[in-house]
Amino acid sequence: HAMDSKVGEVLLYYCYCEVKDPEKLCAWQKALCQHLQLTGKVRVASEGINGTVGGSKVATNLYMEVMLSQPLFKDVLCQEDFKSSTGGAHCFPDLRVGVFKEIVPMGIDPKIVSYKESGIHLSPQEFHREVEQYLSQANEGQSDTILLDCRNFYESKIGHFQGCLAPDIRKFSYFPSYVDENLELFKDKRVLMYCTGGIRCERGSAYLRSKAVCREIYQLKGGIHKYLEEFPDGFYRGKLFVFDDRYAICSNEDTISACRYCGTLWDQYKLCSSQHCRQLVLTCPSCCSKGLTACCPVCQDKELKVTSGASGQTRKEECECTWRRPRVPIEHVSQRRMDAGK
């Protein structure tokens, strides 16, 4: 049966548009996904829809067709807006469709900072040329440009554009405070901004624009996803982090990150082995086999206590990693430029 074929795909897309009745759209969307046996996550809001779903090739193709013919998205969503990768329904634990205030959680009311105020969209080709120019100028130490990764630290850690500035933030809702605390950095600069599929840049760029300090703000249309389709061996090095059970997808064999314990090159994430901790950890097979499976010493100890039967009060994400990660780290430019320059 075609629907059950193991080799399917995962689609990633978003569409900003006016949704008069989010509840109704949500119910329709849920029924559609269930009918096509798709798993994944879909966020609906009055500002649009954002989803990533997995299933058989037949199912994902039907899904795209239906989405493109839905009157609500007819003039705003196009085939190009869907980013696909090899996967399937098995990439997600279940199906979650819900109504939210924002289709990407930046934590700022869409009425205050709207996607309509976003930066200038560049195609992968245009972005590639810009990065090329930026890198050659940066080498001569005379760039007026900042290449900004607006994803989380654990995403940029395993893959990023050469010479980028990657904020040490744990979630996108910290991005606005990051900008606020580092305004000096952006003063009179041209900013080239990118994220996974383009959605975080829509409002991230709008937020930065609202501060009126930058000279120009550009963003990569379709995100790293679309860029890698055109330039698998371009200026993006390492893997692309994805929010499903695969954790990462790759366009080349590059590994740029290291095992947390021994420092050997390693970029495959695992969940911290300590109960209730949702942090991801890079620990290589040899360290894993030595039992080094937690994200930090605090969690490693906690786990030992739990397994030895001591009743340790465990709470979500209560460990060294969380304490060490202030809500807003202040950037020191020279120190934070991520260079994976070979």
Percent of the chain with pLDDT over 90: 77
Residue 336's pLDDT is what? 44
Residue 341's pLDDT is what? 44
Q: How confident is the model at residue 124 (pLDDT cuts 50, 70, 90)?
A: very high
Give pLDDT tens digits for 281-337: 999 999 999 999 999 888 888 766 665 554 545 455 567 776 666 555 555 544 445
Give pLDDT tens digits for 72-111: 998 899 999 999 999 999 999 999 999 999 999 999 999 9
| Catalytic residue chosen out of the listed positions 195, 295, 299, 321 | 195
Q: What average pLDDT score do residues 112-131 get?
A: 96
Residue 3's pLDDT is what? 47
Residue of 21 and 342 predicted with greater confidence:
21
Residue 331's pLDDT is what? 52
Residue 252's pLDDT is what? 84
Best CA proximity match to 146, nearest among 77, 194, 98, 86: 194
The DSSP line for 174-220 is GHHHHHHHTHHHHTT-EEEEE-SSSHHHHHHHHHHHHTT--SEEEEE
Coil, strand or helix at 302: helix
Residue 251's pLDDT is what? 85
Residue 313's pLDDT is what? 52
Domains and CATH numbers, the chain: 8-99 (3.30.70.100), 115-249 (3.40.250.10), 258-306+318-324 (no CATH)
Q: Which residues of 192-213 are buried (b: 16+ CB within 10 A; e: fewer)?
A: bbbbbbbbbbbbbbbbbbeeeb
Range scoring the smallest mean pLDDT among 180-184, 240-244, 274-278, 326-330: 326-330
Q: How confident is the model at residue 274 (pLDDT cuts 50, 70, 90)?
A: confident
Residue 324's pLDDT is what? 62
Best CA proximity match to 288, nearest among 305, 276, 300, 301: 300
Q: Catalytic annotation on 299? A: no
Best CA proximity match to 268, nearest among 303, 233, 293: 293
Separation CA 260–CA 296 (nearest Å): 9
2 φ/ψ sector (left φ>0, alpha ψ -120 to 50, else beta): alpha
Mean pLDDT over the full length of the chain: 89
C-alpha distances in Å from residue 86, one per residue of 39, 78, 255, 269, 323: 14, 20, 20, 18, 36
Q: What average pLDDT score do residues 133-137 get?
A: 93
Give pLDDT tens digits for 177-230: 999 999 999 999 999 999 999 999 999 999 999 999 999 999 999 999 999 999
| Sign of the CA dihedral running 19, 20, 26, 28 | negative
Residue 182's pLDDT is what? 94
Q: What average pLDDT score do residues 45-56 get?
A: 97
